[in-house]
A = this chain, B = another copy of it.
Amino acid sequence: MRIILVGYGVVGQSLADILLRRSIETVRDYGFNPKVVAIVDRGGAAINSKGLDLEKMLALKKKDGTVGTDPKFGYPQMSSSAVIESVEAEVVVEVTPTNVKNGEPGLSHIKTAFKTGKHVVTTNKGPLALALPALMELADYNKVYLRFSGTVGGGTPVLELAKRGLLGDKIIAIRGILNGTTNYILTKMEEKCITFQQALEEAQKLGYAETDPTMDIDGIDAACKVVIMANWIMNKKFTLKDVEVQGIRDVTLQALGKASKRGNTIKLIGSIDGNPTVAPTEISKHDPLCVSGVLNAVTFVSKFAGEETIIGRGAGGMETASAVLRDLLDIKHNLASELLM
């Protein structure tokens, strides 16, 4: 399988690292022998139809900040779209940063990949939050696969659990703590009796929150994940604008204190049960969903199997890259089945 890797930040580099470290096992256990034929980052591209040396690419990125400087395989000026269009490959791995304003550049990358007959694995929530119903149709039309396990739960197989683990069942409702930063802030507010502002500053110091924390604390990141789950798991045709979103800026110590007296706490809960929503919600401390710190948790309410909750870290480069590898193996498996038909 030939792969074009678009975006070479933390997740992209972690994927290169995993592919290097797991290559013997993936061939042996899954007959999966990936070749990364192109890598694109902000400084340009490196292309080798025989497969790039991933160890060299990691070193080069560290040294120069881009792979475009490779003396033999580097193309410092080449755009990502040109690479996706012109390089022969089966799959585009799109791991550029999320942009929920217009989904770019991820949205164009995905469309270009589809148009040239390439499957897409992405960890980019922007294009999916804005246009997942259309993208799923476009993938079908072009007879290619679109996979995005890493967008919900990081390395935690939230989407797989719902889709595969509950095969034959019917998922009626979903609710979850879908954002680690806000969960960290709410946990610290309660534990240490500090204000939202103080907890936010602490999260920023520890690198759990960005300098501009809007995406997280205003609930937008969680809303993106609600959209993705609603489409993928429950066959809804929602986009970001359909989600009623409320962040955690207005959660007070007083409200947390009152909840605590009732044996409850306040968490930012994304929910799909009728209309999709994201809002600070009082839940019991005994609810399996009630996890602390940066953990994420999702509960699926299914018709026959009952309620299942899955908990894990919702982020991390290596974790998210492991989700990309799962998606690549899934596509590989589907292609093998197709070939036999």
CA distance A22 to B169 in the complex (A): 9
- A164: which of B164, B295, B307, B311 is its contact (CB, 8 Å)? B164
Binary CB contact string for chain A from 318 to 341 against chain B (1 if under 8 A, 0 otherwise): 110111011011100000010011
Smallest CB separation, A326 vs chain B (Å)? 5
User: How many monomers of this protein are in the complex?
Assistant: 2
Q: Is A155 part of the contact surface with B, judged by Cβ < 8 Å?
A: yes
**Do B304 and A308 have beta carbons less than 8 Å apart?**
no
CA distance A288 to B177 in the complex (A): 13
**Do A310 and B313 have beta carbons less than 8 Å apart?**
no
CA distance A323 to B167 in the complex (A): 9
In the complex with contacts A161-B161, A291-B288, A305-B169 CB distance below 8 A: no
Q: Is A242 part of the contact surface with B, judged by Cβ < 8 Å?
A: no
The contact size tier of chain A is: 35 or more
In the complex with contacts A30-B168, A168-B22, A312-B316 CB distance below 8 A: no
Q: Is A160 part of the contact surface with B, judged by Cβ < 8 Å?
A: yes
**Do A308 and B164 have beta carbons less than 8 Å apart?**
no
**Do A165 and B161 have beta carbons less than 8 Å apart?**
yes
Smallest CB separation, A135 vs chain B (Å)? 22
CA distance A161 to B156 in the complex (A): 10
- A326: which of B18, B169, B322 is its contact (CB, 8 Å)? B169
Q: Is A35 part of the contact surface with B, judged by Cβ < 8 Å?
A: no
**Do B308 and A312 have beta carbons less than 8 Å apart?**
yes
Ordered nearest first, which 4 A-B pairs have the shortest CB separation?
A157-B165, A155-B305, A304-B322, A340-B340
Q: List 24 A-B contacts (CB under 8 A).
A: A26-B168, A30-B167, A154-B306, A155-B302, A156-B305, A157-B161, A157-B305, A161-B161, A161-B310, A164-B164, A167-B329, A168-B322, A168-B328, A169-B322, A286-B293, A288-B291, A288-B297, A305-B312, A305-B322, A308-B311, A308-B312, A309-B311, A337-B337, A337-B340
